[in-house]
Amino acid sequence: MDHLQKEGACEHRKEEKIVFMKTLNVIFRREAQEDIATISRYIAKDSPEAARNFFVALDDSCELLAHTPDIGSARIFQSPRLHGMRIIPIRKFEK
């Protein structure tokens, strides 16, 4: 009898599962980079701090996406180049 049973703990041990997660790289196309610059300039007109927060939120979203690439809403596009694309809002900047 092992120490778990002696101490009255569960008799069945849970099987440990090791999961290896693959981290992907998030790559911005030129058009996306231009959109991000335009959005940040627009936000900075009213609040430079909000523009900085936008970049932090964008970075956080990219980190989340790199670790969990299947998150977000699947979209269907006519272009085969965009097949499988998923959309996620940037947290705190959803609107």
Mean pLDDT on 26-33: 89
Mean pLDDT of the chain: 79
> Could you tell me the pLDDT band of residue 57, with boundaries at 50, 70 and 90?
very high
Residue 27 pLDDT > 90: no
DSSP annotation of 85: -
Domain ranges of the chain: 24-95
Instruction: Reply yes or no on whether the pLDDT at 30 is more than 50.
Output: yes
| pLDDT range class, residue 9, cuts 50, 70, 90 | very low
Give the predicted TM-score (pTM) of the model. Answer: 0.65
